[in-house]
Structure 1
Amino acid sequence: MTQHGRTTFSPMCGLLALGLIGCGSAEDAFEPTADAPPGTSRAALTAYEQAALDTANNSASCTPLGNFYWEIGNAAGSLYGIPRGSGVSATTVMPIASASKWLYAGAYVQSKGYANLTADEKKRLNFTSGYIDESTTLCGVAGTTVSDCYGPTYKDVSYRSIQNGRFFYNGGHMQKLALDDIGARKGTGVASVMDWLNARLGTTLPESDSDVAPGGGFSGSAALYRVFLMKLLNNQYELSSKLTVDSVPAWEGGTNVSYTPWTAAGQAYYGLGHWIEGETVSGVWTVTGHSSAGAFGFYPWVNAARNRYMLLARSRQLGGDAEGEKSRVCAQAIRKAYELGVAQP
C-alpha cells in the first residue's frame, strides 16, 4: 500500500514471549520527500501536513497544552514539524524529566552489551528491582555526584524486599544502577555523566548539574533527542532490537504491579527504560509503539515496526505527572491526522 508517495512496510511482532501479544498493525514507513518544510504557507502544505497542523492548533487534546513543537520522521530524519505557538522550536532545550530513562537505558545496554546484562541489571532497567527512592528532590546542586544523588540528602534510595520482582515506576532503580557503574561522575565538567552517555549513544545532549539523576534529570531538545530515535530506527544500538524484551505488565491492576503512573485505558508494559504502548485487536493485545513520556510533557515515541519516530516537546513544570499523558494523547492525534489526511477533533 502507498500513501502520499510513501511506501508501507509490514511491522515486527512484539512481546511474543509474554504469550499475550500479536503482531502490530501496519504502519507507513515514510521516505523523505520534497514536501514543504515547517513554516511555509498553507498553500505549500500537503493535505496530510495541513491536517496535522489543524489538529495541533484546534484539537481538544492539544489546545490546553500551551506552546509546543511536534515532529514526525523516519530513519533518515525529520519529515514534518509543527511549532505550535511561539517560544518552542526543534532546538529549544528544556528539562525532559522521565524521557531521560530511555536515554540512560540505551546507553547502559550499549555499554554492557545486552548479552552481558545480569538478571539484577535487567530488573533495575524494567523497574522490578526493589530499589525505590524516598524523595523526588532533584539533584541539581553544582558538584553533586551520582553517588550523592543516591544518598539521604537527595533521592535517599532504599531497597525494599517486598517490591523485588514487582513493577514500581520510580527512578531509584536507575539511581542504584548508576551508583554501581558511574557513581563518581558529576553533572558538568571533566568525566561528567553526559560525557559518558553521549560517547555511547553518539549524541550531543547538553550537560546540566541534574544529570546525576539518570532516571529524570537530563535536558534536551527535539533536535537532540531525534538523533537517539533515528539511531534506534537504524539499528545502531544494542537496544534497537530489544525494545520488547524483559518487559513486564505496567498498568493499574496488572500482575505484580505495585505502582504505575499509566492512566490511559487498557494495558501497557514496561521494557528496558521505556513504555510499550498497544491496543487490543480481536481480543489480542498488540504493540503499537514505544515511548518515554516526561512529567513536564516531553514525549518521544517510535512505532512498533521501528520505521517511524515522533516527538512532542514542551515543558510545563507545574502541571504534575499528568503532563506526559496529555502530550501522548495530543501527539498521537496529530500523527493520526498526518497519516489519514483528516484533522482530528
Structure 2
Amino acid sequence: MKWTWKTGLIPVGGLLALGSIGCGPGGNGLEGLSDTNLGTSRAALTVYEQAAVDTANTSPDCTSLGDFYWEIGSGTAKLFGFSRGSTVSETTVLPLASASKWLYASAYVQSKGYVNLGAAEKKQLNFTSGYLESTDDVTCGDVGTTVSECYGSDYKNVSYHSGEDGNFFYDGGHMQKLATDDMGWRSGTGVASVVSWLNGQLGTSLPESSGAVAVAGGFRGSAAHYRVFLQKLLTNQYAMSVRLTADAVPAYPGGPGVSNTPWVSGQAYYGLGHWLERELVSDVWRMTGHSSPGLFGFYPWVDAGKSQYMLLARARLIGPEHEGEQSRVCAHKIRKAYELGVPQL
C-alpha cells in the first residue's frame, strides 16, 4: 500500500461541481468558480492580517499550492479569512479526503459516548486494528452503494491482518470496518444517509454525496462547513472535545509500533481519527495541535489549548502526493505570521 493521505472517492458529479480538471491559474483544476472571496483592501488590514496575507501570497511554501482559501478563528468567531487567487472561497465545496476522518470519528464518539467504547472500537479509530483495504485505487462512488458494499470485495475489499493488529497502520479500512458493523445499510444519499447521520450528530450541514459511504475519506464540504465543526469542538460541544488526546499512539516514521504512516518528518501521534502534531520546544517534543490533512490539500487544525482553529481549503486533484503535508506547512507559516505580525517568507 502507498503512503498517502488516503481518500475514498472523487465521484464524477463531484468533479463537475468543482469544474474541469486541468492546469488552471493555480494548477488545481478549480478555475471558473463564481463564489469567490476577493478579500479586503490592504488599507483595511491590521499589521497581523497583512503579515498573514503577505505570507500566503509570497512564501514559496504557499504559492506552490495554487489557489486556496484560509481562515483563522476562535470558538465563537471567524477572526480573519482570505482567498489566494480567485477560484476558492470559504463556500467552495471540495473533496475533504482524509479530513473526513476527524468528522467521522467525532460523530461516532458522539453517538456512542466515549465511556461506552470497547477496545476494538478504539483500535478502529486510532488505526491499530489490523483491518486494511486491499487497494488505494478503488472508490465507492456508484449511486446506491452502501457502507457495507464499500467494505466488501467489489470495492475496498477490507480484510483483517493479524500481523498488523496493535501496530499503527494509516489506512481507511479500520474505519470502514467500524462503519460497516454500525451502519452498513446506509448509503451516501437519500433517506437516512451517512451524511444525514453525521450532520445530526455534529450539528453540521455537510452536503450529501454517493462517496460518503467511504467514511474515512469520502465526505465533501467547504471551509464554512468545516468551521462549524471546529468551533463546536473548541467550545466543548462534543464528546470528542475532551478526548482529543485519548488513545493516541505513535504515528511518525520510525516510531514504536508504526507500520505505515504518511507523516513526513518530525513527531506525531494519532488519536481518535486525527493527528496530534508535535514540535520541538526548547529541545523537547511537545504537542502543539490537532489536525486531519486531506489527500488533496484540505487542512483543518486546532491548537493544543483549544483556543484557536485554522483552515486551509484547496483541492489539487492531479498532482504529487503529500498535498496535505504541503498545506500543513503553508498553514503554519500563515498562522505564525498572523500571531507575530511579521511575514514568514
Task: Give the TM-score taking structure 1 as reference length.
Answer: 0.88
In the alignment, which residue of structure 1 is the partner of 2:19? Answer: none
In the alignment, which residue of structure 1 is the partner of 2:96? Answer: 96
In the alignment, which residue of structure 2 is the partner of 1:43? Answer: 43
Farther off after superposition, 134-143 or 103-112: 134-143
Q: Name the SS for the 2:285 alignment partner.
A: strand
In the alignment, which residue of structure 2 is the partner of 1:262? Answer: 263
In the alignment, which residue of structure 2 is the partner of 1:29? Answer: none
In the alignment, which residue of structure 2 is the partner of 1:248? Answer: 249
Q: Is the contact between residue 295 and residue 320 of structure 1 (CA under 8 Å) also seen in structure 2?
A: no
Displaced runs of 4 or more, over 4 A: none
Give the root-mean-square deviation of aligned CA atoms: 1.0
Q: 1:77 Cα shift?
A: 1.8
Q: 1:39 Cα shift?
A: 2.0
Runs (5+) with no aligned partner, structure 1: 1-36
Q: 1:320 Cα shift?
A: 4.2
Aligned letter for 2:241?
S
Deviations 1:229-255 (A, max 9, x none): 000001000000110110000001000
Q: Is the contact between residue 277 and residue 291 of structure 2 (CA under 8 Å) also seen in structure 1?
A: yes
Which whole-Å CA distance do the structure 1 matches of 2:75 and 2:259 have between them? 36
Q: Are 1:279 and 2:279 counterparts?
A: yes
Aligned letter for 1:43?
A
Deviations 1:179-224 (A, max 9, x none): 0001000000011000110000000000000000000000000000
Which whole-Å CA distance do the structure 2 matches of 1:328 and 1:208 have between them? 26
Q: Is the contact between residue 38 and residue 81 of structure 1 (CA under 8 Å) also seen in structure 2?
A: no
In the alignment, which residue of structure 2 is the partner of 1:17? Answer: none
Q: Name the SS for the 1:97 alignment partner.
A: coil
Deviations 1:101-149 (A, max 9, x none): 0000000000000000000000000000000001221100100000000
> Structure 2 vs 1, CA of residues 164 and 59 (structure 1 numbering), >3 Å: closer, same or farther?
same
Q: Percent identity of the aligned residues?
A: 68
Aligned letter for 1:191?
A
Q: 1:82 Cα shift?
A: 1.0
In the alignment, which residue of structure 2 is the partner of 1:32? Answer: none
Q: Is the contact between residue 296 and residue 320 of structure 1 (CA under 8 Å) also seen in structure 2?
A: no
Q: Is the contact between residue 71 and residue 78 of structure 2 (CA under 8 Å) also seen in structure 1?
A: yes
Q: 1:299 Cα shift?
A: 0.1
Aligned letter for 1:175?
Q
Q: Is the contact between residue 38 and residue 86 of structure 2 (CA under 8 Å) also seen in structure 1?
A: no
Q: 1:283 Cα shift?
A: 3.8
In the alignment, which residue of structure 1 is the partner of 2:308? Answer: 308
Which whole-Å CA distance do the structure 1 matches of 2:153 and 2:122 have between them? 25
Task: Give the TM-score taking structure 2 as reference length.
Answer: 0.88
Which whole-Å CA distance do the structure 1 matches of 2:196 and 2:78 have between them? 26
Q: Is the contact between residue 120 and residue 129 of structure 2 (CA under 8 Å) also seen in structure 1?
A: yes
Q: 1:319 Cα shift?
A: 2.2
Q: 1:41 Cα shift?
A: 1.3
Which whole-Å CA distance do the structure 2 matches of 1:171 and 1:191 have between them? 22
Q: Are 1:73 and 2:57 counterparts?
A: no
Q: Name the SS for the 1:57 alignment partner.
A: helix
Runs (5+) with no aligned partner, structure 2: 1-36
Q: Is the contact between residue 107 and residue 197 of structure 1 (CA under 8 Å) also seen in structure 2?
A: yes
Which whole-Å CA distance do the structure 1 matches of 2:139 and 2:274 have between them? 21
Q: Matches of residues 156-305 of structure 1 in structure 2 within 5 Å?
A: 156-263=157-264, 265-305=265-305
In the alignment, which residue of structure 2 is the partner of 1:319? Answer: 319
Which whole-Å CA distance do the structure 2 matches of 1:72 and 1:281 have between them? 23
